[in-house]
Amino acid sequence: GQVWTDRTDYVASVSNNLGWAEGVEKLFGITVPRRAHYIRTMLTELNRITSHLLWLGTHALDIGAMTVFLYAFREREEILSMFEAFCGARLTTTAFRIGGLREDIPPGFEKQVRAFQARFLDCLDEYEILLTENRIWKKRTIGVALLNAEDAIALGVTGPVLRAAGSNYDIRKAFPYAAYSEMDFKVATQNEGDTYARYLVRLEEMRQAHRIVNQCLDGLPEGPVMAKLPKV
């Protein structure tokens, strides 16, 4: 079962693993240890960053900005190396197990994450210097592909595309899972519903993901990372 969730959207396989694991845990009434919740949340937010960096780099490349692609993939590779250190895979991670984690974070992992965290906000500023006020970028994204909240909801649109249309719906706040109820973060929204608004939302989501990862590291509980499982 779980291994297939990696392939549903292979740039967000950690998030897909979490959705599957939590669904099964809810059905069987399994209580996941708090430490596992924190590690799951941290890895899922790092995955959010890798996913958004792929989006940013290829989006910029399609519009004609090659430098951003090289910058974004530089940071993305760093996070993929963290996934490799944690579970031996970079893309199709199968990161979690029903009931928690296969094993705890490996030696040196926290140091690796903190080194990335220390410089990532500066990297985001670099992307913004290249794009946010760039007149060519703005001309090609502002007012383009307009989608309002009402239409987005009617079409079943979720995530940054919905939040860029003025809706502040975020399942991490509406129905908190993993350790999100213990995290302090802001839901990124814009009202314009155009390509530029979607770009701004994803940038802010990466900043908020950075906040969440720091909170997971700073507040990481002690204890086991696997629940006692029923024999089924």
What confidence tens digit (pLDDT) does each residue in 26-53 have?
Answer: 999 999 999 999 999 999 999 999 999 9
What is the tens place of the pLDDT at every residue in 172-221? 999 999 999 999 999 999 999 999 999 999 999 999 999 999 999 999 99
Nearest-angstrom CA–CA distance, 21 and 96: 7
Residue 90 near residue 22, CB atoms below 8 Å = no
Residue 226 near residue 51, CB atoms below 8 Å = no
What is the tens place of the pLDDT at every residue in 91-144? 999 999 999 999 999 999 999 999 999 999 999 999 999 999 999 999 999 999
